[in-house]
Amino acid sequence: MSQFAVMGCPIDHSLSPVIHQAFGELVGRSVSYERRRVEAGGLAHALEAFAAQGGLGVNVTVPLKTEAFSLSRRLSSRALRAQAVNTVSWAEGAVVGDNTDGVGLIRDLRDNHGLALRGSRVLLVGAGGAAWGVVGPLLDEGVAQLAITNRTAARAQALVDSLGDVRASVFLADDGDKPFDYVINATAAGLSGALPALPETVFPGAVAYDLVYGPRAQGFLSHAQRCGARSALDGLGMLVEQAAESFFLWHGVRPPTEPVLQKLRMPS
């Protein structure tokens, strides 16, 4: 049976094993997929040990995505743009890094929710690893404006500077005078029950999306709806779609995502 794992810390909450095993069943592959708790600084050793026991692929999550980027001997263009790796495989013994977060968000918005991004005004909140992963794919989808804001303003500026695209700018107070089509929360604020600071004027008519999923996304999504957002979506679909892309990289087969999403949405 081919062996895969997700590594990070904390890791107990990760749904990745459930998702990958469900994909395996749907496409008729036997997949062993486990969680491994790996703290910052421990990834090189953990990857080596996993490869030595026959491991074929690893998903990497907080706080290891930058570490995985540094350890990769080969990088996909998506990983290079994101400066972060969430999917590891091996080729001729060398670590190969890719990043499937951006494509996961786009497929969730576009394919699962039937939403168009072309020509839209997008406000992205956050400038951490997840934000770096999604900005390139959002621009590729043809958004007209990508305003970025972050609690630590200098990090938003650095992300805008890295893009070198006239459509990308740091969010200014005036930008909120005209509502956005999308307000995407790529911060970890929901994990601690906090809300990112935003003027209420950005929400009316917008699709509000939180990369966090489940109850921890509700604070932001309920607030957005109270401020007039037309719909409120959590990041579960993105999680499943980024996993599907990792599965495709490892197995060469694209699994159906809808049955897995339905299963995860069912009350337990």
* Catalytic positions: 65
Q: Strand (E) positions, 61-139? A: 74-75, 87-91, 94-98, 121-125
188 forms part of the interface with ligand NAP (CB under 6 A):
yes
Distance in Å, CB of 11 to ligand NAP, minimum: 12
* 217: DSSP letter: G
Which lies closer to ligand NAP via its Cβ, residue 40 or residue 144? 40
Neighbours of 160 (CB within 10 A): 19
Radius of gyration, alpha carbons of the chain: 18
229 forms part of the interface with ligand NAP (CB under 6 A):
no
Residues listed for the chain: 268
The first and second tokens of residue 201, run together, are: 């004027």
Task: For residue 202, give the amino acid letter.
Answer: V
- Of the candidates 39, 116, 28, 47, which has an alpha carbon nearest to the alpha carbon of residue 87? 47
Applying CB under 6 A, among 22, 85, 106, 127 the residue interacting with ligand NAP is 127
Q: In the beta sheet, which residues pair with residue 122? A: 146, 182
* 191: DSSP letter: G
Stretch that binds ligand NAP, among 41-49, 201-209, 236-244, 249-257 (CB under 6 A): 236-244
Pairwise CA distance, residues 72 & 68, whole Å: 6
Asked if 29 contacts 1 with a C-beta cutoff of 8 angstroms, the reply is no
Stretch that binds ligand NAP, among 2-10, 32-40, 192-200, 256-264 (CB under 6 A): 192-200
- Of the candidates 22, 49, 174, 26, which has an alpha carbon nearest to the alpha carbon of residue 7? 49
211 forms part of the interface with ligand NAP (CB under 6 A):
yes
106 forms part of the interface with ligand NAP (CB under 6 A):
no
Asked if 211 contacts 185 with a C-beta cutoff of 8 angstroms, the reply is yes
186 forms part of the interface with ligand NAP (CB under 6 A):
yes
With CB under 6 A as the rule, give the number of residues binding ligand NAP. 28
70 forms part of the interface with ligand NAP (CB under 6 A):
no
Applying CB under 6 A, among 138, 198, 238, 261 the residue interacting with ligand NAP is 238
Applying CB under 6 A, among 128, 136, 137, 219 the residue interacting with ligand NAP is 128
Distance in Å, CB of 28 to ligand NAP, minimum: 25
245 forms part of the interface with ligand NAP (CB under 6 A):
no
Which lies closer to ligand NAP via its Cβ, residue 49 or residue 154? 154
Which residues of this protein are in contact with ligand NAP, per CB under 6 A? 62, 101, 104, 126-131, 150-152, 155, 186-189, 191-192, 194, 196, 211-213, 235, 238-239, 242
